[in-house]
């Protein structure tokens, strides 16, 4: 687990970076995302980028492969230290010849933890080019327990299920226009059923395959109340999350005590 000291225990200032992504252009995307952080006047503890923020979704062919010692991780470490914050988002990472859609979380101290996307989007051919992750992860950032998820994982509630081990679900995505109603409905559902904060950060613009992305990055509180909606414009916005809200909602309506006890793979 990651442990990062935050300046104000019990709250998490999170920057949602709803960005346009250049197709197959890691250096351009890193520069653009850094500029978006620089334009934010408010301080923040955590900045969240979209899924595959260096290349766009399935935009890695003919792009030099990166490993965990590559330029994207180096950039994240440098930027996190410079901004004194944690950074999160997914990128294509190759390890021992296997290609992963990997959620990366880097702290201001340079600690790096990761989660590999479990549910690969077979409808788009992701499962033919990437290896699926095998472990569900929870990271610790200050007092917060954070469960990272990537795009298609949102459709699988058992995998996302709160086992009394997290306070915040973070989804990074390239979720297209045609299914955006599913995105918003499922984000809210994950918040309600898990009594946790839920952040969903999606991209905007069109990729090299002609797929359009509408943004709609959102934050829901542990009761399923919509707290922030970035709608369709490119934007970076700070949202304040209160840890006390998690305990309050779970105490007020403790339905998790009646939940079925099972683990993924046991059904």
**Structural domain boundaries in the chain:** 11-256
Q: Do residues 80 and 113 make contact, with C-beta atoms less than 8 angstroms apart?
A: no
Question: What pLDDT is stored for residue 79 in this prediction?
Answer: 98
Of 156, 190, 150, which Cα lies nearest the Cα of 174?
150
Strand 226-229, strand 218-220: pairing: antiparallel
DSSP helix/strand/coil, 160: helix
**Quick one: pLDDT at residue 84?**
97
The mean per-residue pLDDT over the stretch 78-105 comes to: 98
Q: What pLDDT does 267 receive? A: 42
Dist. CA 172–CA 200, nearest whole Å: 6
Q: Which of 147, 151, 160, 216 is catalytic?
A: 151
Q: Say whether pLDDT at 85 is over 60.
A: yes
DSSP 233-246: S-EEEEEEEEHHHH
For range 235-242, the mean pLDDT: 98
Average pLDDT rounded to a whole number, residues 123-150: 96
> Is the pLDDT score of 9 beyond 80?
no
| Spatial contact of 264 and 158, defined as CB atoms under 8 Å apart | yes
**DSSP element (H, E) containing 222:** none
Q: What is the per-residue pLDDT for 262?
A: 75
pTM greater than 0.75: yes
Q: Indicate whether 35 pLDDT > 60.
A: yes
Mean pLDDT for the stretch of residues 94-109: 98
Q: What angle do CA 255, 152, 90 make, to 5 degrees?
A: 110
Confidence band for 12, pLDDT divided at 50, 70 and 90: very high
Does pLDDT of 71 surpass 70? Answer: yes
Q: Active site residue: 77, 85, 117, 126, which one?
A: 117
For residue 140, what are the β-bridge partners? 145
**Active-site residue flag, 51:** yes
Percent of the chain with pLDDT over 70: 95
Structure tokens at 210: 């002609």
The verdict on whether 66 is a catalytic residue reads: no
How far is residue 236 from each of residues 22, 47, 93, 192, measured CA to CA in Å? 17, 9, 25, 25
Does residue 34 have an active-site annotation? no
* CATH 3.40.50.920 fits domain 11-256: no
Catalytic residue among 51, 66, 160, 216: 51
């Amino acid at each position: 687990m990651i442990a990062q000291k935050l300046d104000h225990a019990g709250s998490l200032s999170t920057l949602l970076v709803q960005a346009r992504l250049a197709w197959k252009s890691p250096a351009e995307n890193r520069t653009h995302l850094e500029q978006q952080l620089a334009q934010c006047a408010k301080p923040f503890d955590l900045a969240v980028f979209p899924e595959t923020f260096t290349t766009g979704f399935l935009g890695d062919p003919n792009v030099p492969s990166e490993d965990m010692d590559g330029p994207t991780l180096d950039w994240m470490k440098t930027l996190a230290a410079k901004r004194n914050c944690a950074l999160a988002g997914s990128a294509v990472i190759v390890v021992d010849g296997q290609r992963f859609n990997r959620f990366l979380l880097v702290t201001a101290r340079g600690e790096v933890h990761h989660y590999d996307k479990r549910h690969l989007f077979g409808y788009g051919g992701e499962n033919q080019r990437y290896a699926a992750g095998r472990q569900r992860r929870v990271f610790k950032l200050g007092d917060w327990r954070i469960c990272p998820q990537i795009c298609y994982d949102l459709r699988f509630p058992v995998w996302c299920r709160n086992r009394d081990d997290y306070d915040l679900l973070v989804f990074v995505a390239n979720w297209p226009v045609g299914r955006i109603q599913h995105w918003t409905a499922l984000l809210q559902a994950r918040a309600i059923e898990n009594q946790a904060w839920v952040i969903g950060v999606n991209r905007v613009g069109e990729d090299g395959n002609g797929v359009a992305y509408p943004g709609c990055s959102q934050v829901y509180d542990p009761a399923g109340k919509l707290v922030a909606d970035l709608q369709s414009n490119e934007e970076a916005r700070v949202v304040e999350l209160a840890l006390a809200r998690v305990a309050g909602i779970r105490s007020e309506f403790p339905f998790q005590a009646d939940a079925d006890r099972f683990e993924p793979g046991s059904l």
